[in-house]
Amino acid sequence: MNIYANKNRYYFEGPMSHQGNYQLVSKSNASSFHRSRPIRKAALIFLAVVLMGIAAFSARGLGQTIRPGEVWLDDRGQPIQAHGGGVLKQGNTYFWFGEEREQGLDPTKRYVGCYSSKDLVHWKFRNLVIQLSDPENFGPRWILERPKVFYNAKTKKYVMYMHIDGPVNGNGGGYALARVGVATSDKVDGDYHYIRSFRPLGHESRDIGQFVDDDGTAYLIFEDRPFGFRIAKLSDDYLDVEKEVALIPMHLEGGAIVHYQGLYYAIGSELTSWSPNPNKYATATSLSGPWTEFKDIAPPETKTYGAQSTMMLKVVGSKTTTVIFMGDIWKPKTLWDSRYLWMPLTISDGKLSLPTPRPWKLNVKTGEVEVAQ
Residue 100 or 145: the one with the smaller Cβ distance to ligand DGJ is 145
Q: How far is the CB of 363 from ligand DGJ (least distance, A)?
A: 31
* DSSP bridge partners of 149: 160
Q: How far is the CB of 3 from ligand DGJ (least distance, A)?
A: 45
Q: For the stretch 166-204, what's the b/e string if a residue is b when 16 or more beta carbons lie within 10 angstroms of its beta carbon?
A: bbeeeeeeebebbbbbbbbbeebbeebebeebeebbebb
Q: How far is the CB of 331 from ligand DGJ (least distance, A)?
A: 12
Residue 271: count of CB within 10 angstroms of its CB: 14
Residue 111: count of CB within 10 angstroms of its CB: 19
Residue 169 or 273: the one with the smaller Cβ distance to ligand DGJ is 273
| Helical H segments across the chain, by residue range | 30-35, 37-59
CA gap 119, 207 in Å, rounded? 28
CA gap 10, 50 in Å, rounded? 14
Q: How far is the CB of 102 from ligand DGJ (least distance, A)?
A: 17
Q: How far is the CB of 254 from ligand DGJ (least distance, A)?
A: 5
CA gap 294, 320 in Å, rounded? 27
Question: CA dist 322 to 83, 88, 196, 369, Å?
Answer: 22, 16, 36, 8
Residue 39 or 271: the one with the smaller Cβ distance to ligand DGJ is 271
Residue 209 or 359: the one with the smaller Cβ distance to ligand DGJ is 209
- Footprint of ligand DGJ on this chain (CB under 6 A)? 84, 145-146, 207, 253-254, 273-274, 308
Instruction: Tell me the DSSP string of 340-358.
Output: EEEEEPEEETTEEE-PPP-
Residue 132 or 252: the one with the smaller Cβ distance to ligand DGJ is 252
Residue 98 or 359: the one with the smaller Cβ distance to ligand DGJ is 98
Residue 248 or 369: the one with the smaller Cβ distance to ligand DGJ is 248
Taking CB atoms, the residue at the shortest distance from ligand DGJ is 273
Q: How far is the CB of 274 from ligand DGJ (least distance, A)?
A: 5
Q: How far is the CB of 175 from ligand DGJ (least distance, A)?
A: 7
